[in-house]
Chain A
Amino acid sequence: MGKIIELKKVNKWFDKFQVLKDIDLDVAPQEKIVICGPSGSGKSTLIRCINRLEEHQEGNIIVDGTELAENTKNIEKIRAEVGMVFQQFNLFPHLSILDNCTLAPIWVKKLPKKEAEELAMKNLTRVQIDDQALKFPGQLSGGQQQRAAIARALCMEPKIMLFDEPTSALDPEMIKEVLDVMVDLAKGGMTMIVVTHEMGFAKEVADCMIFMDEGKIVEKAKTKEFFENPKSDRTKLFLSQIL
């Protein structure tokens, strides 16, 4: 199987503090990976390095055949192919939900307005908030906002989707509606890397689990193996607390 994302010996420091230590990771097309671990373990930083919201200092990150480095043009091309969903939604509050979704397709992918709107409505229907299209983000509930953010990312028709704790800022009763959308997306064959503590979701969709601690990948295993027979003691301890 080919690799759509390849990380080789990636190291990253915030000043003197090392947040990522020798990270090696290969992701195949259509693979779903869930990353878990205690806070401060570097999992968010890791996926933010994949679309270069954070810069790494050592090692190579290759996304869809393009190496991420200083060259700006490449980075914008990569970012257009990699969708990202944030913990805090980060919708654009000055634009309606529909405009949130059409803005980047129109200005970055140069889609005609009409096509962009059709695409947006298709994706909003997919996340089941097509009836909210003309409202502003401030008028929507947290769950609806996060689904809108997913639709916005999908409108760029990305090859890879990154999720940075997408349900952590939500009320418990809204978590399910967002996870349902993500499960649907996974079944559609999207390549996904998800940072989350929702282990039910992980068991359902993940091909592969990664456990991180102190900037290192402590354990990487097939999902079934990971939950039934974790190898390291640190993973066991973490799972015993979270499950």
Chain B
Amino acid sequence: MNLIAKPSKENIKTYVPIGFSLVSLSILDVFANAFFNLNLMAFLPSQLSYLLPLILGFIGFYLIRIEFSGVRSLDILNKNINSNNFNAVLTLFTIFIIIKSIPPMLDWFILEANFVGNSKDDCTGDGACWVFIKVWFNRFMYGLYPNAEQWRINTAFLILFTVVGVSFFVAERLKKYFILFLVFVFPFLGIKLISGGSFGLEYVESAAWGGLSLTFIISAFAILFCFPIGVILALGRRSSLPAIKYISIGFIELWRGVPLITVLFMSAVMFPMFLPDGTFIDKLIRVLIAITLFEAAYMAEVVRGGLQALPKGQYEAAKSLGMGYWRMNALIILPQALKLVIPGIANTLLALVKDTPLIFVVGLMELAGMIGLAKTNPKWLGMAMEGYVFAGLVFWIICYAMSRYSQNLEKKLSTER
């Protein structure tokens, strides 16, 4: 490169426009190729026409790489995506891959996809067959729950979302009543509404529950119960009383050491054998207990991490003010420890939500389970892709929302400024 002067502030006026033109040209070439199937460089030999965008872009990036150019946006660009030759190549590759992958994705998801119709035969395009999702949507949401009774699930979730929504806007002193309602009253009210059997509501057995509503029910109950149990186990593991300590350790290590799928099998298949004849515990409840205890063991270790991070002085200060064990933990230790481990708690709860599809092993069908069932329907064979993309999207939305919520909570509770 001795033929031309090194890019610097002196030649910025000529180099930067040329550089940008070259980079633009290279991107334009890939763009035209990807979107319109045109080869702008067709006049060149074939190997060269493949490499040309890369070469042009590379030279272009070289020309605009001017240190301390004095132009703010150029400096930011250079620093972030064009700091040396290697990074320039990586940048180009990334841009090319993104451009190249947009048209096929767009085709599959929207342009060539099929939205209208009622059966697989209506899917004539090359893209996704969203008709599958549309036809099965009701099942994906409610499982095998009778259509005429689905208003009960809707009502339960409507109440939930309304209460949660309203609670964000009410005065601070009223919030605790909303939380008490959500934690202690609503879960049992909601379950009664959905299962029925009294108040003139038809009984719907839990085997018929399913779809996304079951995902929510299982996740919500497991989160609700695994959290306090996890906290108790974490405190127990640090207890000075040997009996409590070793029971906690034993419990945690037992449940952490077994795969969830095994636990679910045991709860569904083996556990009933130990029950006295005639007693019967609903399968859903057994599964719920299994998931709750399994996740509680993980939660306990997360919380314990927070407990260990607190300085000894906090315990001593609380004690020196005359607080006993429970007051000390409830008022001083846990508020700080839990705040510290919000990311870990969010991690565990996200994992819990994403573990719910495993309940298929005991015959319960939540969202992913229902999709698995639907794609084996003889009339709808070959729809796995659409189904699982849909499931992935729904799970991603749920988990991303939870993740955002945990980040907001972290910010809100932060007292360090």
Interface stretch of the complex, out of B157-165, B222-230, B309-317? B309-317
* Docked-complex contact A77 and B322, CB < 8 angstroms: yes
Is residue A80 within 8 Å, beta carbon to beta carbon, of the partner chain? yes
Interface stretch of the complex, out of B65-73, B209-217, B330-338, B378-386? B330-338
Is residue B174 within 8 Å, beta carbon to beta carbon, of the partner chain? no
Residues of A within 8 A of B249 (CB): none
* Docked-complex contact B324 and A72, CB < 8 angstroms: yes
**What number of B residues sit within 8 Å (CB to CB) of A?**
22
Q: Which of B322, B331, B332 lies in contact with A80, CB distance below 8 A?
A: B322
What DSSP secondary structure best describes chain B's contact surface?
A: helix
* Docked-complex contact A86 and B317, CB < 8 angstroms: yes
Q: How far is the CA of A27 from the CA of B262 in the complex (A)?
A: 65
The closest CB in chain B to the CB of A80 belongs to B322
What is the distance, in angstroms, from A57's C-beta to the closest C-beta of chain B? 17
Is residue B320 within 8 Å, beta carbon to beta carbon, of the partner chain? yes
Residues of A within 8 A of B121 (CB): none
What is the distance, in angstroms, from B415's C-beta to the closest C-beta of chain A? 4
Is residue B339 within 8 Å, beta carbon to beta carbon, of the partner chain? yes
* Docked-complex contact A92 and B314, CB < 8 angstroms: yes
Residues A136 and B415 in contact in the complex (CB < 8 Å), given A53-B316, A86-B313, A103-B331: yes
Is residue B277 within 8 Å, beta carbon to beta carbon, of the partner chain? no
Residues of B within 8 A of A151 (CB): none
Q: How far is the CA of A72 from the CA of B319 in the complex (A)?
A: 12
Q: Which of A193-230 contact B (CB under 8 A)?
A: none
Is residue A61 within 8 Å, beta carbon to beta carbon, of the partner chain? no
Residues A79 and B321 in contact in the complex (CB < 8 Å), given A103-B331, A108-B327: yes
What is the distance, in angstroms, from A98's C-beta to the closest C-beta of chain B? 13
Give how many A-B residue pairs fall within 8 Å (CB-CB): 74
Residues of B within 8 A of A72 (CB): 324
**What number of A residues sit within 8 Å (CB to CB) of B?**
30
* Docked-complex contact A53 and B319, CB < 8 angstroms: yes
Q: Which of A123-167 contact B (CB under 8 A)?
A: 136, 138-139, 149, 152-153, 156
The closest CB in chain B to the CB of A104 belongs to B321
Is residue B173 within 8 Å, beta carbon to beta carbon, of the partner chain? no
What is the distance, in angstroms, from B335's C-beta to the closest C-beta of chain A? 5
Is residue A82 within 8 Å, beta carbon to beta carbon, of the partner chain? yes
* Docked-complex contact B415 and A80, CB < 8 angstroms: no
* Docked-complex contact B320 and A82, CB < 8 angstroms: yes
Residues of B within 8 A of A83 (CB): 320
* Docked-complex contact B314 and A90, CB < 8 angstroms: yes
The closest CB in chain B to the CB of A79 belongs to B322
Residues of B within 8 A of A86 (CB): 313, 316-317, 320
Residues A90 and B321 in contact in the complex (CB < 8 Å), given A103-B331, A136-B415, A138-B416: no
- Chain B residues with CB under 8 Å of chain A are 311, 313-314, 316-324, 327, 331-332, 335-336, 339, 413, 415-417
13 inter-chain pairs at a CB distance below 8 angstroms, sorted by A residue, are A53-B316, A76-B324, A79-B322, A84-B316, A88-B311, A92-B336, A94-B339, A94-B413, A107-B331, A108-B323, A109-B322, A152-B321, A153-B321
- Chain A residues with CB under 8 Å of chain B are 51, 53, 72, 76-77, 79-84, 86, 88, 90-94, 103-104, 107-109, 136, 138-139, 149, 152-153, 156
18 more A-B residue pairs beyond the given contacts A53-B320, A152-B321, with a C-beta to C-beta distance below 8 A: A53-B316, A76-B322, A79-B322, A81-B322, A84-B316, A84-B317, A86-B317, A90-B317, A91-B317, A94-B335, A104-B321, A104-B322, A104-B323, A107-B327, A136-B415, A136-B416, A138-B417, A153-B320
